[in-house]
Each structure stands twice: as structure tokens, then as C-alpha cells.
Structure 1
Amino acid sequence: MKFIIAAMALATSSLALAYHCPNEMKAIDAKLATNPTLSAADMGKVKDLRAEGEKLHKAGKHDESLKALDSAKKLLGI
């Protein structure tokens, strides 16, 4: 019984992370649409991290996706 509860909790948390990734990508996209003042190098990093986050999300690697997206958000100041 404990195993079933633990498995259900894990599955639920994975789904929560899966739905969180698109919101993070939307926040990054919204900030990029405002043409933030960043160096060309930082803008390239943000775009690369955003793309990597989406790729990892699509691959089901939500923890890794969120790490990449969080890094992009930090560079953008959000």
C-alpha cells in the first residue's frame, strides 16, 4: 500500500513539473518580446537555454528542463 501511494505521489509530481515547463518558457518569451537590454553574448545564452529547456521538456526530462529555463530567467532578471 505504501508503494502505491509513493508511486502515485511521484507520478503526480512529474505531471506538475511537466506543466510547469511551458509556463516558464512563456515567461521567457514574454520578457524577450520586450527587447531586454542584454549583451549579445547573454542574449545568445538566454536563447540557447530556452531552446534547451524546450528540448528537454519534450524529452520528458522536466527537472533538467526547469534548470535550463531557470538559468535563462536569471540572465533576463526574472
Structure 2
Amino acid sequence: MRNSALILCLALAGAGSAWAHNCPNEMKAIDAKLATKPALSKEDADKVAKLRADGEAQHKAGKHTESMTSLGEAKKLLGI
């Protein structure tokens, strides 16, 4: 039983690390879409830029859940 609990804990810890390392991939996807000059209103373009910057800052601060939320909102505005 103890081994099962240990394995579960290690698996969950690994899942958190994998999630944390996805932030850079999300930023790359946003950057790639922005490079295509998508048709966005100035308001949406500014919001995407802010969300992208916030996501990177949150990632660097170790706030990966918040980062993924910000980056996800930016991706939604970009249609990706």
C-alpha cells in the first residue's frame, strides 16, 4: 500500500512538472500566430500582447497555472 501511495505521489509531481514546462510551447504558438499578422482589432491586439507578457512573467515567477490561464486567453483571442 505504501508503494502505491509513493508511486501516485511521484506521478502527480511529474504531471505538475510537465504542465509547468508547457508554458514556453504556448508562448511559441502565440508568437507564431502573431508573426502571421492576424486580423485583430487594436483592442484585441493590445489584449493579446498583454496576456502574452503576463503569461511569460507568471511562468518566470513559477506561477504556471496562472501563466497557462493568461496564455490560453491570448490563444482564444487569436483563434488557436
Q: Same fold (TM over 0.5)?
A: yes
Structure (1 or 2) with the larger CA radius of gyration:
2
Identity %: 60
**Equivalent residue runs for 1:24-43 within 5 Å:** 24-43=26-45
The TM-score normalised by the length of structure 2 is 0.88
Among candidates 47, 67, 70, match of residue 68 of structure 1 = 70
**Equivalent residue runs for 1:15-30 within 5 Å:** 15-30=17-32
SS of 1:11's equivalent in the other structure is helix
Q: Deviation at 1:60?
A: 1.4
1:65 and 1:9 map into 2 onto residues whose CA distance is 22
Structure 2 unaligned residues grouped into runs of 5+: none
The TM-score normalised by the length of structure 1 is 0.90
Worse overlay, 42-51 or 60-69: 60-69
Report the counterpart of residue 12 of structure 2 in structure 1: 10
Q: Deviation at 1:6?
A: 3.1
RMSD in angstroms over aligned alpha carbons?
Answer: 1.2
The amino acid across from 1:20 in the alignment is: N
